[in-house]
Chain A
């Protein structure tokens, strides 16, 4: 039995790496985090002929420095012998930039295979790549593929199976004599038959000297050339790991020189292997002319977001109807089955009023959430998302943030957890802190069920508008808070946007399907775990009181806990113990507010007209009006984020203090805004 081969997928962002990875693994992948950090790690398994592969999707990166978490862990993963073969995916239509990472990977000294992706686009544009010359210059196999059209996939895996033990070797053939004598000629070094990238004599001398000293000090070290180059770049991580006194050689950082010389070599490669490179894509520029226009950019963005929410509510609601009927039938069937089996009253209550009402209520919002994530996936995959950063840069600059900070905020409409993680792309720690603190104010999809329920109950025709206003309000509160933080900041930094704008492309159906499926699966898992448990807990504290089992909920433990908070919430018009209790349970996950309320108000199900009416009459009976409902929606929008978000904030900022601050800060903000809304609203209506 042959050992499983570990294959690492690596490449620049937007090179089609994920599409290629998905083409091999399909939806059967394991998503986890890299140990100790919140960077997503995707793993898949596949078989090709008699070979078994474990595929690992490394983060999309531009280089292998130790400046970012993603780059550091990719580098470490490759260095640690965990990987047998590296597949470096390059966007062949933008080879020049993509080859930079390739050269760095080759230098690492592990078996590398270059997958030239998007060959279909290269052909469309009339470009040609000399696939005989390219491997000669790089010393690694170069396989043309198209992840979108699924061509070349078998050949790539075939190469992996046969290339596993080979490190770039003597196939190298360079014609440096053709180049400028000043620049790269007259090498004293005989490295050209050994290494793809050979630097100037000055740097090569230093590399040789450092390599020799490294070998002496650390005899077990593999690939001392790479380590020597990193020492010349004064890479902190490597210098810390292998302390060595090199002050006589490394008089300054040679990082810029090394980068420049790599690009000189890349220019040489492009010169030799790319034919017809002049014909560039004009389509993207034409589209950008409109979408990033200084006047039209912003209105177009707002229009697109309007369409996204319109689809989320209308199409989502239409699908929701189908879901509700199915769920009600299920609930009735279970009720019938339980009574037929002669199940006890308490047990039936737990199953039907506790679990089915709680978890089922949440499941019916799945269509809305599906639509929202589908729309976000299309925006991302088409390449529009990064344009939003550019369009919003001016405005975000006014609140002291870069346009890039807008992407986490936008993603926050889907789910706060990945949105908080996305703030990592911001380089400045202060920018990150600010972005992480305001992102939870963006209304995530888990809060959507609350708006849908209450706006349908109290706003009838204007339901969609009432729900939409929550998104706007969340955005406004976030911006105001950023503005306040900005005025308190002593040193005013000017924003530092830096983002690649990929070519526009038709979204890949397969990739989007997998992305949305991941999110839907998360939601279902949450319904089956967190919400399931929360439903049982809420049911339990409602059916038991100081005197044991009770049928009168107002005598239960839940009521006692809820009543403590009634005086605090009363000024916001939501001073009902049922509401305060459901808000507390909502910290487990925001959807739980809805599932708890259905259990608390004893309406059985909200998935039917009768159920809705019952809930409406219970609330109206307690003096609840549209103003109260709106104040409740506002409070739910802004108050303490869910446990998962708090944990993510703690991990991303590496600070328990800031995570706790976020939790309490949001609670206070929510209270003030909700009180304001209720008090002003009561005066007007």
Chain B
């Protein structure tokens, strides 16, 4: 599943990032590396998601959320 389907309050493990390019590098630099645990804090119908990674809250849009492959922990 992708982060788009993440449920508020649940934790997930990052399986893969399918973005490539600069945005992917930026996400990785922010600590969103493969195997990291993230916690979904908000998920709106429009696809914008807030999640916690390595002690930081990040807000992302639909396109990025759809490219983060996650797995329940």
- Name A's B-contacting residues (CB within 8 A): 62-63, 65, 67, 93-97, 100, 255-256, 259-260, 263, 280, 284-285, 288, 292, 294, 386-387, 389-390, 393-394, 397, 402-403, 427, 493-502
Q: How far is the CA of A619 from the CA of B30 in the complex (A)?
A: 59
Assess the B61–A496 pair: CB atoms within 8 A: yes
Assess the A390–B48 pair: CB atoms within 8 A: yes
User: Residue B33 at the A interface, CB < 8 A?
Assistant: yes
Assess the A397–B61 pair: CB atoms within 8 A: yes
- Name B's A-contacting residues (CB within 8 A): 22-31, 33-34, 36, 41-42, 44-48, 50, 53-64
Q: How far is the CA of A321 from the CA of B22 in the complex (A)?
A: 53
Residue of B nearest to A65 (CB): B25
Q: How far is the CA of A247 from the CA of B45 in the complex (A)?
A: 46
18 additional contacts, CB 8 Å, given A63-B26, A403-B61? A62-B26, A67-B22, A67-B26, A255-B25, A256-B28, A260-B34, A263-B31, A288-B42, A292-B50, A393-B44, A393-B46, A397-B61, A397-B62, A497-B48, A498-B23, A498-B27, A501-B50, A501-B57
Assess the A280–B55 pair: CB atoms within 8 A: yes
The contact sample of 13 A-B pairs, CB cut-off 8 A, is A62-B26, A96-B31, A97-B56, A100-B30, A255-B28, A260-B34, A263-B54, A394-B44, A397-B47, A497-B64, A498-B58, A498-B59, A500-B59
Q: Which of A62, A402, A427 contacts B30 (CB 8 A)?
A: A62
Contacts of A280 in B (CB 8 A): 55
Assess the B25–A256 pair: CB atoms within 8 A: yes
Contacts of A95 in B (CB 8 A): 55
Q: How far is the CA of A499 from the CA of B61 in the complex (A)?
A: 9
Q: How far is the CA of A394 from the CA of B44 in the complex (A)?
A: 8
Assess the A263–B33 pair: CB atoms within 8 A: yes
Residue of B nearest to A383 (CB): B57
Contacts of A389 in B (CB 8 A): 59
Q: How far is the CA of A427 from the CA of B61 in the complex (A)?
A: 13
Of residues A93, A259, A288, A389, which shows the largest number of chain B Cβ atoms within 10 Å of its Cβ?
A259
Residue of B nearest to A256 (CB): B28
Q: With A494-B63, A495-B62 in contact, is A259–B25 under 8 Å at CB?
A: yes
Residue of A nearest to B8 (CB): A289
Of residues A403, A500, A501, which shows the largest number of chain B Cβ atoms within 10 Å of its Cβ?
A501
Q: Which of A394, A402, A501 contacts B45 (CB 8 A)?
A: A394
Contacts of A65 in B (CB 8 A): 25, 29
Q: How far is the CA of A109 from the CA of B62 in the complex (A)?
A: 39
Assess the B59–A393 pair: CB atoms within 8 A: yes
Assess the B25–A390 pair: CB atoms within 8 A: no
Contacts of A397 in B (CB 8 A): 46-47, 61-62
Q: How far is the CA of A393 from the CA of B64 in the complex (A)?
A: 13
Q: How far is the CA of A94 from the CA of B55 in the complex (A)?
A: 6
Q: With A255-B25, A495-B62 in contact, is A294–B34 under 8 Å at CB?
A: no
Contacts of B24 in A (CB 8 A): 256
Residue of B nearest to A494 (CB): B63
Assess the B59–A390 pair: CB atoms within 8 A: yes
Q: How far is the CA of A394 from the CA of B41 in the complex (A)?
A: 17
Assess the A260–B33 pair: CB atoms within 8 A: yes
Contacts of B62 in A (CB 8 A): 397, 494-495
Q: How far is the CA of A499 from the CA of B33 in the complex (A)?
A: 17
Q: How far is the CA of A263 from the CA of B29 in the complex (A)?
A: 9
State the Cβ distance, A99 to closest chain B Cβ, in Å.
Answer: 10
Assess the A67–B25 pair: CB atoms within 8 A: yes
Contacts of B63 in A (CB 8 A): 493-496
Q: How far is the CA of A261 from the CA of B3 in the complex (A)?
A: 24
Residue of B nearest to A96 (CB): B54
Q: How far is the CA of A94 from the CA of B58 in the complex (A)?
A: 13
Of residues A94, A97, A260, which shows the largest number of chain B Cβ atoms within 10 Å of its Cβ?
A97
Residue of A nearest to B63 (CB): A494
Q: How far is the CA of A468 from the CA of B24 in the complex (A)?
A: 41
Contacts of B50 in A (CB 8 A): 288, 292, 390, 501
Contacts of A500 in B (CB 8 A): 30, 56-59
Q: With A288-B42, A390-B50, A427-B22 in contact, is A100–B29 under 8 Å at CB?
A: yes
Contacts of A97 in B (CB 8 A): 30-31, 53-56
Q: How far is the CA of A265 from the CA of B27 in the complex (A)?
A: 18
Assess the A403–B29 pair: CB atoms within 8 A: no
State the Cβ distance, B56 to closest chain A Cβ, in Å.
Answer: 5
Residue of B nearest to A94 (CB): B55
Q: Which of B42, B44, B61 contacts A498 (CB 8 A)?
A: B61
Assess the A498–B60 pair: CB atoms within 8 A: yes
Q: With A386-B59, A394-B48, A500-B57 in contact, is A63–B42 under 8 Å at CB?
A: no
State the Cβ distance, B67 to closest chain A Cβ, in Å.
Answer: 10
Assess the A501–B25 pair: CB atoms within 8 A: no
Contacts of B30 in A (CB 8 A): 62, 97, 100, 500
Residue of A nearest to B66 (CB): A494
State the Cβ distance, A423 to closest chain B Cβ, in Å.
Answer: 16
Contacts of B31 in A (CB 8 A): 96-97, 100, 263
Q: How far is the CA of A494 from the CA of B24 in the complex (A)?
A: 16
Assess the B58–A294 pair: CB atoms within 8 A: no
State the Cβ distance, B19 to closest chain A Cβ, in Å.
Answer: 9
Assess the A501–B59 pair: CB atoms within 8 A: yes
Q: How far is the CA of A495 from the CA of B54 in the complex (A)?
A: 25
Q: How far is the CA of A386 from the CA of B44 in the complex (A)?
A: 16
Of residues A280, A284, A494, which shows the largest number of chain B Cβ atoms within 10 Å of its Cβ?
A494
Contacts of B60 in A (CB 8 A): 497-498
Residue of A nearest to B59 (CB): A390
Q: How far is the CA of A288 from the CA of B46 in the complex (A)?
A: 17
Q: Which of A62, A387, A496, A501 contacts B23 (CB 8 A)?
A: A496
Contacts of B29 in A (CB 8 A): 62-63, 65, 100, 259
Q: How far is the CA of A494 from the CA of B31 in the complex (A)?
A: 24
State the Cβ distance, B28 to closest chain A Cβ, in Å.
Answer: 4
Q: How far is the CA of A63 from the CA of B24 in the complex (A)?
A: 13
Q: How far is the CA of A96 from the CA of B30 in the complex (A)?
A: 10
Residue of B nearest to A389 (CB): B59
Assess the A497–B28 pair: CB atoms within 8 A: no
Assess the A394–B23 pair: CB atoms within 8 A: no
Assess the A94–B56 pair: CB atoms within 8 A: yes
Q: How far is the CA of A281 from the CA of B71 in the complex (A)?
A: 25
State the Cβ distance, B48 to closest chain A Cβ, in Å.
Answer: 4
Q: How far is the CA of A93 from the CA of B34 in the complex (A)?
A: 23
Contacts of A499 in B (CB 8 A): 58-59
